[in-house]
Amino acid sequence: MKKIGGLKFIAFSIIFFILVIIISIGIGPVPIPLQEIIYELFNPYASGPYHIIIWELRMPRIILASLVGASLAVSGAVMQGIFRNPLSDPYVTGTASGAALGATISIIIGLVSINIYFLPLLAFLGASATTILVAIIATYSTGPKSENMLLAGLGISIFFSAIVSYLMYMDGKDLQTVFYWLMGSFSGAQWNYVYIMMIFAIPSMIILGIMGRDIDPMMIGEDHAYSLGIDVKKSRLIFFILSSLITGLSVAFSGIIGFVGLIIPHIVRIITGPNNRIVILSSIFIGGGYMVIADTIARSFYIIEELPVGIITSIIGVPVFLYLLMRERDYWR
């Protein structure tokens, strides 16, 4: 497959992202004409009949979905690079399992009924604690090598998933609430969530994009990276922490949404080539746009209650991923 230049594809991904946002604003139980969307977006004094629908209902959800999608895609690109494993995704470090455990505890002990903010708070604390635990285990073995982090994350993930399953088994009355959260949804999106995601996710993604060039020699081998003056252990730890941070925030505010961080970096690499800085920067907008599309589909299929967005990403992601594996089996090289 002929590769597209990095700058051209970044420009394309930005245009794609903007168009997806505009189209998504107009889709819903109350369709909004394009001229009204443009008027509301570019007129700070707008107060028409669509103002509340756009700015209070749809826009927080769309922006949060785009930030989560961008974070998961970037995290997936980084994890695939530092672990040198095309099957790695944002959840491979156990971050999602830690967040799921924190969220499950907040639901079962009733903290959510006291204040809804306890759910994302405990989910993020669980994700952060898991990240620290994995880093400590990997460091105390033979140093923070990629394979040590991968194995430690896998072990912690399985252990925490077992605890979550046990808690769900023992507390049947909250089973549906926990299960719905685990499948992922943006139905509870609000501006406060958006602001928190923007404060942490945007700077983290910028740093990861700037440092992305260090991943290229690290993928060839640690000795090669050291010969170029890269502190591999320090760089890997920074990549690991920042990726886990934005993954933890994403899971805290949206639940566990699969396949975004797995297939988006694959698609971008096939189109642009193996330059990790280009892959990371492009994944920000492609991942964000993809998540907005998935959420728009999810909120459009409203039967009994809203469809979890994790179902949509899995339905789309599995066939796409299998197709990419069959069509481009050797692209990773």
**In the chain, where the domains are located:** 6-327
Report, as an integer, the average pLDDT of 34-52: 85
Question: In Å, how far are 93, 105, 151, 155 from 133, measured between CA atoms?
Answer: 10, 19, 12, 11
**CA 50 – CA 52 distance, rounded (Å):** 6
Res 191: pLDDT: 94
Report, as an integer, the average pLDDT of 183-204: 93
- Confidence label for 95 from pLDDT (cuts 50, 70 and 90): confident
Report, as an integer, the average pLDDT of 290-307: 85
Question: In Å, how far are 14, 44, 48, 189 from 52, measured between CA atoms?
Answer: 27, 13, 8, 15
- Confidence label for 244 from pLDDT (cuts 50, 70 and 90): confident
Is residue 176 scored above 80 in pLDDT? no
Residue 78 is which amino acid? V
- Backbone φ and ψ of 27, nearest 5°: -95, 130
**Of residues 73 and 87, which shows the higher confidence score?**
73
Res 227: pLDDT: 83
**CA 287 – CA 200 distance, rounded (Å):** 17
Residue 283 is which amino acid? S
Taking the CA atoms of 154, 157, 163 and 166 in sequence, report the sign of the dihedral they define. Answer: negative
**Of residues 116 and 244, which shows the higher confidence score?**
244
**CA 259 – CA 270 distance, rounded (Å):** 17
Percent of the chain exceeding pLDDT 90 equals 40
**Residue 322 CB neighbours (<10 A):** 11
**Of residues 148 and 315, which shows the higher confidence score?**
315
Res 62: pLDDT: 97
Res 218: pLDDT: 85
What is the second-level CATH architecture of the domain 6-327?
Answer: Orthogonal Bundle (1.10)
The structure tokens 């809203």 sit at 306
Distance of CA 171 to the CA centre of its chain: 29
Exposed (0-12), middle (13-18) or buried (19+): which is 32, by Cβ within 10 Å? middle
Is residue 142 scored above 70 in pLDDT? no
User: Residue 34 in contact with residue 54, Cβ under 8 Å?
Assistant: no
DSSP structural state of residue 110: T
Cα angle: 254, vertex 255, 258; to 5 degrees: 105
- Tell which phi-psi region holds residue 249, choosing left (phi > 0), alpha (psi between -120 and 50) or beta: alpha
**CA 76 – CA 170 distance, rounded (Å):** 33
Is residue 61 scored above 90 in pLDDT? yes
Exposed (0-12), middle (13-18) or buried (19+): which is 238, by Cβ within 10 Å? middle
Report residue 259 as tokens.
Answer: 């396949």
**Residue 41 CB neighbours (<10 A):** 15
- Confidence label for 18 from pLDDT (cuts 50, 70 and 90): very high
Summarize pLDDT for 98-112 with one digit per residue, the tens.
998 998 898 888 887
Report, as an integer, the average pLDDT of 74-93: 85
The structure tokens 């769309």 sit at 62
Taking the CA atoms of 317, 320, 325 and 326 in sequence, report the sign of the dihedral they define. Answer: positive
Res 2: pLDDT: 61
DSSP codes joined into one string, 126-191: HHHHHHHHHHHHHHHHHSS-HHHHHHHHHHHHHHHHHHHHHHHHH-GGGHHHHHHHHT---TT--H
